Structure 1
Amino acid sequence: MDQEKSEEFYGRLREQLAESSKWPSNYLYKFIVPTDTQKIKQIQDIFDNTGAVIESKQSKNAKYTSLSITVNLKNPDEVIQKYKEVGEVKGVISL
């Protein structure tokens, strides 16, 4: 995603989160990651010390792992910051 589209996307997301939730609030992230312990650990480290609950499940052929991460965050900006951090990990799909 190019920088301009990315900022536009995050701007809309910030508005939607501000309108749809009272903050602080629990937020559920869902990611699909190639089954690679290094990549999964990178994502887990991003949410380390946040009190996040992380559930993982491998696909039938074990090629991919889905991560569901529930964490209590203060505001929409924190939600977006975590998306940007996870976006740095190669091959991750955010749902």
Structure 2
Amino acid sequence: MRRSPIGLHPQTRENARVLGLKRCGHVVYRPVTNELAGVIIKVKEIIKLELVDRVDPPKTGAPSGFEVIGRLNPRIAPGSKAAKPLLPLRTRRSTAEN
């Protein structure tokens, strides 16, 4: 998707959603069908279309020579801010307790 469908007709926004496009810069791969060709024509102003012969799976995981054996939380993507350990919050003590 090249630009956001915000401000466009609701049907155009729905067509972008049907294609699976969620945000600017989002890339999806779909097989070529007559139904999708009609949807693509309706949103041609906000997308960039390229025909590809095959889709290579995205390279994820560890660098070469290493192997990922598990994750602490499979819902958290590695490298994200949420994957870093959090420190406990300091609580403010009242002066009477000291």
TM-score by structure 2 length? Answer: 0.30
* TM-score, length-scaled by structure 1: 0.31
* Larger RCO (CA under 8 A, 6+ residues apart): 1
The structure with more radius of gyration: 2
